[in-house]
Amino acid sequence: MIKPYETWVEIDLGALRHNLQIIHQRISEDTGIIAVLKGNAYGHDMNIMAQALQQSGIKRYAVATINEGIELSRLLNPETDIHILGSMHPDCAERAAKSNLINTICTKQSAKALASFGQGLKVHINLDLGMNRVGCPPAELDEFISYVEKLGLNVEGLYGHLPDVYSDNKDTNQQIERFKKATDKYQGRYIRHLSNSPGLFRDQGQQCTIEFDYVRIGSALYGNMQLGFHPQSDRLQRLISWKVKPSMVQKIYQGEGVGYDSRYVAEQDGWLATFPVGYVDGIPPDFANEANPGKIKIGQDYFPIVGKLCMDHIMVKIPEAIALNTECIILSATADEPVSIESIAKQTETTATDIISGIHPRVTRCAVNKK
């Protein structure tokens, strides 16, 4: 079937189901999953992911902002719980109250502002376990809960974030203990969630040991875990492949320049393929590195990008002409090849999540079932 797009991202729902199976193997039957769909589902498309996860039985979701929450609420069943992980700003209280979302409260100003627009609104309290980003200090939790509930808000849950799981077990142990010390007395009264994707695979055993009532899972859903972290996380599969067709293929002659400022000058006669993607679409700036340029996969071979990146185009040096309907690969879900997400993240000194979430929404997302 001919795809009616110049460039598109394929989201493999078979790989998503595979990843969900592994995630479920790490938690007990009594532990729920909060699926994190912030940032357009980490660049994978919120609409596609929400529908697929709902069909898989996921009942709780999380995003970062009220705008994302409102967008997600239009895609899910009306009774679905949607958490806003960002600390609610007092100026947004009216919108937050009308949204029927579960807002995060970290300050008395936010709690007071939200309560002024409605009673009984569900909120979660985020604890700052040492990251010094947002959150209620654990030592102040009891007093803060009392204040929030006296305002008439419904404290449904308590949660925290583990920022150091990949790099520092000692810090993570301390953060877990801070959370338990502050919240164990509330077990059964409020739901609790602490583990993120790295936390899910932190222990080398077969099951996560920091489950509480829910685990908050983002990266593991998408297969974006650090390789070598855990045997089970290494079995997770990437969901995403980014493809493109050439918009023009032309002969180029020795001495001719390519692109802005003629950054590249042809050393000999050859062929040039222009592709309708550029830095605004998420092509990494490092792909224009002359010493180590980015590559595009055409057939079974890899060919270098030449010249400066354009906002909407890249040019690729090829040995012979190709047809305009040739499907070429910018990012591959397959590991161990030059256009794999891992290879590109290493080349650009960033992470898989950075690469994928940077793909612009104007690049069409398509759901496929490869597995």
What does 86-140 look like in DSSP terms, one character per residue?
Answer: EEPPGGGHHHHHHTT-EEEE-SHHHHHHHHTT-SS-EEEEEE--SS-SS-B-GGG
Q: What is the mean pLDDT of residues 45-70?
A: 97
Q: pTM above the 0.85 mark?
A: yes
Query: How many other CB atoms are there within 10 angstroms of residue 118's CB atom?
Result: 14
Amino acid letter at 45? D
* Separation between Cα atoms, residue 329 and residue 238, nearest integer Å: 15
Single out the residue in 181, 200, 224 at which a domain terminates: 224
Strand 301-306 relative to strand 295-298, pairing: antiparallel
Q: What is the mean pLDDT of residues 178-200?
A: 96
Kindly state whether residue 232 falls inside one of the protein's structural domains: no
Kindly state whether residue 28 falls inside one of the protein's structural domains: yes
pLDDT of residue 179: 96
Q: Which residue shows structure tokens 């996560």?
A: 208
Is the confidence at residue 93, as pLDDT, over 70? Answer: yes
Kindly state whether residue 231 falls inside one of the protein's structural domains: no
Single out the residue in 224, 254, 269 at which a domain terminates: 224
Q: Within this chain, do residues 140 and 266 fall inside the same structural domain, yes or no? A: no
- Residue 290 pLDDT level (bands cut at 50, 70, 90): confident
Least-confidence region, from 15-19, 144-148, 205-209:
205-209
Least-confidence region, from 1-10, 14-23, 120-129, 290-299:
1-10
Q: Within this chain, do residues 58 and 119 fall inside the same structural domain, yes or no? A: yes
Structure tokens at 359: 């793909």
pLDDT of residue 291: 85
CB 174 within 8 A of CB 165: no
CATH code: domain of residue 178: 3.20.20.10
CATH code: domain of residue 258: 2.40.37.10
CB 164 within 8 A of CB 175: yes
Those residues whose C-beta lies under 8 Å from the C-beta of residue 325, and which sit 6 or more positions away, are 2, 245
Q: Identify which has the larger pLDDT, 370 or 58.
A: 58
* Separation between Cα atoms, residue 60 and residue 183, nearest integer Å: 21
Single out the residue in 224, 259, 291 at which a domain terminates: 224
Q: Within this chain, do residues 44 and 181 fall inside the same structural domain, yes or no? A: yes
Q: What is the mean pLDDT of residues 338-354?
A: 92
Q: Within this chain, do residues 176 and 215 fall inside the same structural domain, yes or no? A: yes
- Residue 371 pLDDT level (bands cut at 50, 70, 90): low
Q: Within this chain, do residues 125 and 274 fall inside the same structural domain, yes or no? A: no
**Mean pLDDT over each residue of the chain, to the nearest integer:** 94
Kindly state whether residue 6 falls inside one of the protein's structural domains: no
CB 168 within 8 A of CB 138: no
Burial 225-263 (b: 16+ CB within 10 A, else e): bbeeebebbeebbbbbbbbbbbeebeebeeeeebbeeee
Least-confidence region, from 76-80, 143-147, 209-213:
209-213
Least-confidence region, from 44-53, 86-95, 169-178, 202-211:
202-211
Q: What is the mean pLDDT of residues 203-209?
A: 72
pLDDT of residue 151: 98
* Separation between Cα atoms, residue 101 and residue 95, nearest integer Å: 10
Q: What is the mean pLDDT of residues 254-268?
A: 94
Q: Within this chain, do residues 203 and 280 fall inside the same structural domain, yes or no? A: no
Q: Within this chain, do residues 201 and 317 fall inside the same structural domain, yes or no? A: no
pLDDT of residue 1: 60
- Residue 228 pLDDT level (bands cut at 50, 70, 90): confident
Q: What is the mean pLDDT of residues 257-272?
A: 95
Integer-rounded Cα radius of gyration of the chain: 24
- Residue 333 pLDDT level (bands cut at 50, 70, 90): very high
CB 332 within 8 A of CB 241: yes
Q: Within this chain, do residues 83 and 43 fall inside the same structural domain, yes or no? A: yes
- Residue 294 pLDDT level (bands cut at 50, 70, 90): very high
CA dihedral 78, 81, 86, 87 (to 10 degrees): 100
Kindly state whether residue 1 falls inside one of the protein's structural domains: no
Q: Within this chain, do residues 161 and 288 fall inside the same structural domain, yes or no? A: no
Q: Which residue shows structure tokens 């967008």?
A: 71
Grouping H, G, I as helix, E, B as strand and the rest as coil, residue 264 is strand
Kindly state whether residue 2 falls inside one of the protein's structural domains: no
Kindly state whether residue 4 falls inside one of the protein's structural domains: no
Q: Within this chain, do residues 213 and 249 fall inside the same structural domain, yes or no? A: no
Q: What is the mean pLDDT of residues 116-131?
A: 96
Is the confidence at residue 85, as pLDDT, over 80? Answer: yes
Containing structural domain, residue 75: 13-224
Kindly state whether residue 233 falls inside one of the protein's structural domains: no
Is the confidence at residue 286, as pLDDT, over 80? Answer: yes
- Residue 211 pLDDT level (bands cut at 50, 70, 90): confident
pLDDT of residue 3: 76
Q: Which of 75, 70, 38, 71 is nearest to 55 (CA)?
A: 75
Q: Within this chain, do residues 123 and 220 fall inside the same structural domain, yes or no? A: yes
Structurally, the chain folds into a number of domains equal to: 2
Q: Within this chain, do residues 19 and 149 fall inside the same structural domain, yes or no? A: yes
Could you give the angle at the alpha carbon of 255 between the alpha carbons of 253 and 260, nearest 5°? 100
pLDDT of residue 23: 95
Structure confidence by residue, pLDDT tens digits, 215-224: 999 999 999 9
